[in-house]
Every structure is written in structure tokens, then in C-alpha cells.
Amino acid sequence: MLKVVDHYFVFNGKSSLDFSAVIDGNQTFKGAERDIERFTVPGMNGDLTIDNKRFNAYIQPYSGFIVKNFERNSEALRNWLTQDGAIHRLDDSIHPDEYRMASYAGPFDPSVIFLEAGSFVIDFYCQPQRWLKSGERPVTVTAGSTVKLWNPTLFNAKPLIRVTQGTGQINVGSEVIRLTANNGNTIIDCQLEDAWEGNTNRNGDVVRVTGGMPFLAPGENSISVGSGMVMEITPRWWKI
């Protein structure tokens, strides 16, 4: 006999179970599509394609039920979902090792049974990445040692780097940068291509020696820092 599990989602830090809402998870295996433009040419069979080297956002539905106190719980859930239009973290119990970033798409239009319970489909507008929770753990790198990080995905990861001590050269895979100023808490966001320390802009203090910002390619990546330096690197693995 299959074990009955009350599956749930967590959006913006609050669980659907807080509103007595459970989900079935049937539609949570969707993925984003690659952004490809297709063109037809007179006299030529098939299409020409242009790969824009990105993935499109997509709608992720969650179907489920509010199992008690329908009026109170549905109103509270609707108000929670619609309190702002910002992008927040979205987790669910069907995929415990990953999360997405999403905003609520709406509308909330449940089917009600005797005013006590009801079924619903809630849509979230998701960014294409499915972020791995294993990529949230920072790894410390100190001078004089080389750290090996294995990217388990097929996609380049753009890490978050925090330099807690020193200045000098930072080697991440095939890319090299040099930090020329630091008071002990410089953040280098390789996704945003931005660097700061508190309220101080550090972009001018990050020299791109090899021309690009650090990334972690699929497979093994070697990471090291210059003399006297200590840094933390958070990989931010993702898949589609």
C-alpha cells in the first residue's frame, strides 16, 4: 500500500500547510525551454535557428486541496500570495534537494465543496533555474592550498565570493581576477558581475586578469587564492 504524504510548498518563507493546503505534486516536474528563434527561408527546407544562449521563464502550477476551514484558510492563503509581486524563494516537498525563484502569477480560483474544503491550482511565474541546495554551502579557501569543487550539472555556475582576509589573486577554474582593496568583507557576485563591501563599491578594485568573471564549469574546478588571503565561495549550482 502506498503511504499517504501531505506534500506542500514553501513560498517566501511560509508553508502551504500553515493554511491547511496540501499539493499532489503531479505538475512539479516541468522545466524551462531554451530561448531559440526559428526562421524560414524561401526555397530552403526546414528552419534556420538562432540560439540566444538563455532559458525562458515559465509557469509552474501547483494543484492541491485546502482540507479544512476553507473560507478562513483560502482567504489567508490568497492574501499571503498576493501581498507583493516580488520574486521569492519557492521550495516544495516533492523536490527536497532544490528550489526555484518565483513570483505568484495568480489568479486564485478554487473549486469549493460544501464551503468546508476545496481544490485549487496555484500558478507561480518561475525563473528558469532549479537551484541545488548543495550549492548554497560556502567553501573556505585559504592561501597555500588548492580546493577542488565538482560541478554536478551540465551548466556553468556563477558563484558568490566573499573575501574575508587580504588582497591579491583569485583563481577559479580557467578565470583569474585580482582584488586590490579589502577591509575584510568584500563580496564579489559573479552572476551580477558586481562587487561591494558594505556601502563601498568595489568594482574598481576587481581586475579581470583573464578578461572574464569567475565561473565553475561542469566537472572539476580548481580554486586558489594569493598569499595572506582567505575567502569563501558559494557555488550556486543549478539545472533546468
Could you read off the pLDDT of 166-189 as tens digits, one per residue?
A: 999 999 999 999 999 999 999 999
Q: 110 with 183, same domain?
A: no
Residue 238 pLDDT greater than 60, yes or no: yes
How many domains does the chain fold into? 2
What's the pLDDT tens digit per position in 78-125?
A: 999 999 999 999 999 999 999 999 999 988 888 888 777 899 999 999
Collect all residues with Cβ–Cβ distance below 8 Å to 152 and sequence separation of at least 6.
132, 134, 237
- Is residue 232 in some structural domain? yes
- Is residue 4 in some structural domain? no
- Is residue 1 in some structural domain? no
Residue 6 pLDDT greater than 90, yes or no: no
Q: What is the CATH number of the domain that holds 46?
A: 2.40.30.200
5 band by pLDDT with thresholds 50, 70 and 90: low
Q: 174 with 94, same domain?
A: no
Q: 116 with 190, same domain?
A: no
Q: What pLDDT is recorded for position 102? A: 98
Mean per-residue pLDDT for 155-174?
A: 98
Q: 3-class SS at 225?
A: strand
Mean pLDDT, the chain, integer: 94
Mean per-residue pLDDT for 217-225?
A: 98
Mean per-residue pLDDT for 230-236?
A: 98
Domain boundary among 97, 128, 159: 128
What's the pLDDT tens digit per position in 121-153?
A: 999 999 999 999 999 999 999 999 999 999 999
36 band by pLDDT with thresholds 50, 70 and 90: very high
- Is residue 198 in some structural domain? yes
Domain boundary among 79, 100, 128: 128
- Is residue 3 in some structural domain? no
Q: What is the CATH number of the domain that holds 234?
A: 2.60.120.860
Percent of residues, the chain, with pLDDT higher than 90:
88
4 band by pLDDT with thresholds 50, 70 and 90: low
Q: What pLDDT is recorded for position 1? A: 45
Instruction: Calculate the alpha carbon distances from 77 to 64, 81, 84, 172, 203 in Å.
Output: 13, 6, 13, 44, 42
Q: 111 with 168, same domain?
A: no
Parent domain of 46: 9-128
Q: 43 with 61, same domain?
A: yes
Q: 23 with 73, same domain?
A: yes
Q: 175 with 220, same domain?
A: yes
Q: By C-alpha distance, which of 25, 40, 41 is closest to 92?
A: 25
Domain boundary among 91, 110, 128: 128
Q: 81 with 165, same domain?
A: no
